[in-house]
Structure 1
Amino acid sequence: MGLQHVFLQVVKSLLQPKIDEEHLVDMSHFDSIHYPVRTEVISNGVINSNNLEKLKLDHSWLHQQLQQLGVHSASDVLYAEVQQDGSLYINQNNDDFVH
């Protein structure tokens, strides 16, 4: 029975499809944050704390994002929203669009 078991294992391994690693889909981006809808977080220079809280984000996160975009203060922003992919879209008071 031992030889028959080994034979069955060899046959099973031959019948199983081989995985071509070059054609595997990168699924790592599914680990990133996704929000159901774009959400306003700044309007006319005023931070919408309620929306930040709903997104489980805080003022520190928002200020860090603004600094990375070269914006020194929320009061310099006409409108900002968190996109579905977690990025911040802003429209500054001087009508410059920054993503």
Structure 2
Amino acid sequence: MIPTDKCVNCNEYVAIAYQDAWYPGMVVDVKDKEHFLVTFMTPTRTLGQYKWPLREDIQTVQKKFLISVGFVPDCLNSGRLWNVKEAQTIDNIYKKYSLIYFKD
């Protein structure tokens, strides 16, 4: 898990937990110590590969849903397709996180 005292900065990649899955994105604004604005990538059919959506998906996120920070996706195709090589590690963190925070 990410320590709650971890600073989040603009232009930093993050992984955010939602009930259905985790999603990578980039911080575009830090609102305060507990909230920040993230533009999200969407998953492809291949594990660990993501793309930027045609229509920007931007949301305010609470820090408690941050599960990873500081990774940098690798560009696979002219800025359209990206690989998060840490995807399996982040997925393992997400599974533990979801058992605690997203119980039925």
Q: Which has the larger radius of gyration?
A: 1
Identify, as 1 or 2, the structure richer in strand.
2
TM-score by length of 1: 0.24
Larger helix proportion of the pair: 1
TM-score norm. by structure 2 comes to: 0.24
